[in-house]
Amino acid sequence: MDTPYNVVGSPHAIAPARPRFAVVSRCWAAFLDWQERVRLRQCLSNLSDQELRDIGIARGEIDYVASHRAVDPRGAVYPP
């Protein structure tokens, strides 16, 4: 007996009832992510060169570190 069902992540899963709210949700998430990058960039910029060396980054790497928070330069990858 074939019983149809939907699995989360399946290409046949039922679409959300209100997709326009999904767009707003994604925009809000992107805005919050941008704010977090700005905050991190400011905090790292306020550290001295010695403090930055202690955590293993150079002043020129601050923008990269703020934009790629989920990537550890030592090889580990963390969830965003």
Does residue 76 form part of some domain? no
Q: Is the pTM of this model over 0.75?
A: no
Does residue 43 form part of some domain? yes
pLDDT band at 79 (very low <50, low <70, confident <90, very high): low
Amino acid at 50: Q
Distance CA 9, CA 62 (A): 36
First to last CA, the chain: 43
- Phi, psi for 43 (deg, rounded to 5): -65, -45
Domain that holds residue 43: 19-67
Residues facing 46 on adjacent strands: none
Does residue 37 form part of some domain? yes
Does residue 1 form part of some domain? no
pLDDT band at 74 (very low <50, low <70, confident <90, very high): low
> What is the percent of the chain with per-residue pLDDT over 90, rounded to a whole number?
34
The domain total for the chain is 1
Rounded (5°) CA angle 41-47-71: 45
pLDDT digits (tens, 9 = 90+) for 6-65: 555 555 555 555 677 788 889 999 999 999 999 999 999 999 999 999 888 889 888 888
Contacts of 47 (CB under 8 A, 6+ apart): 55
Does residue 78 form part of some domain? no
pLDDT for the residue numbered 57: 87
Does residue 59 form part of some domain? yes
